[in-house]
Amino acid sequence: MRQVISLIFCFVLFWGYGQDQNLVTVHKALKLMGTRFDITVVAQNEDIGYINIDEATAEIQRIENLISAWNPDSETSEINRNAGIKPVQVSLELFKLIERAKQISELTDGAFDISYASMDQIWKYDGSMQSIPTDAEIEASVANVGYHKIILDEDQQTVFLAKKNMKIAFGAIGKGYAADKAKELLVSKQVVAGIINAAGDLTTWGTKASGEKWLIGIANPLSKDRIFSWLPIVESSVATSGNYEKFVIFNGIRYSHIIDPRTGWPSSGINSVSIFAKSAELCDALATAVYIMGKDAGLSLINQLGGTEVILVDSDNKIHKSSGILLEKEN
């Protein structure tokens, strides 16, 4: 177990073998929301499958136009432009997403916070950093962060950022939400099964065309062609946060790209966190939050939440899991 330093998920799709002759599996990889989406559906034929994928793609693009902080015409950008000035009336969909985000912030004591976008980019992971930011720089960076400063008026359906330089962004919840909405659309159109994979934040429904369950392989990144264990995913979602892609090292200390919005410092003590739940949106948000909260607080939280599980790899490469997880290797 101690060799495993992160969780890399791969779906095993058995193309053709053992499939119902009346069903086919159709897959397409696309760049959406600035990242890779893989959309897989089980359909009556290839033409219908690709139509389904196009419909899911359009839904994801709709979500991006709603929540993007980079698109000046989005409702999110309008909220940010009016920070400290006035409340902004928004669609019910965006209002409810922000409301749920605030609830997750409350649940995680601010470890998850969509106002993290207010932080100055003083930590850089492109090779340009020469030294650790000063305490004063870090203090200034988080001065405008705080979910409690996001003021919601349910009657008027408005969002107000209480400080002038506040911003919100959905980088730690948006891909999961888009995956959920794409799945919801396809299910409403009687698509019998599929996977929406948003750069590792993914959700599934139904089964493979063969009738078998979708499987996630937990791979050892030190030997990526070897699977550590298999987990079946049935009508469920999973998201992973990890420090194995972006980090900097100063004085022998490794600083992750996942920043605690409460302190401005990179989180430490964990290599990766994978959350399993019904909703990809919740998985996306909690994966980041648990990574920031740390092993003990994170496991305690997940063990108290119904229908939610976690696999966590600490900085000593030791695996920890919530009470409902049973790894096949342990059988």
Give pLDDT tens digits for 118-153.
998 899 888 899 999 999 999 999 999 999 999 999
Q: Residue 62: beta bridge partners?
A: none
Assess contact for 276 and 232: CB atoms under 8 A: no
DSSP annotation of 213: P
Contacts of 147 (CB under 8 A, 6+ apart): 101, 102, 105, 106, 110, 113, 114, 115
Strands 35-43 and 193-198 turn out to be antiparallel
Q: What is the pLDDT of residue 66?
A: 97
Q: Nearest CA to 204 among 233, 181, 184?
A: 233
Assess contact for 44 and 22: CB atoms under 8 A: yes
State the CB neighbour count (10 A cutoff) for residue 100.
Answer: 16
Q: What is the pLDDT of residue 226?
A: 61
Architecture of domain 8-64+191-330: Roll (3.10)
Q: What is the pLDDT of residue 14?
A: 37
Domain boundaries along the sequence of the chain: 8-64+191-330
HSE toward the beta carbon, residue 239, CA cutoff 13 A: 29
Residues of the chain with pLDDT under 50: 1-19, 221-224, 330-331
State the CB neighbour count (10 A cutoff) for residue 3.
Answer: 11
Cα separation, 253 vs 107, in Å, equals 30
Q: What is the pLDDT of residue 10?
A: 47
Cα separation, 128 vs 96, in Å, equals 39
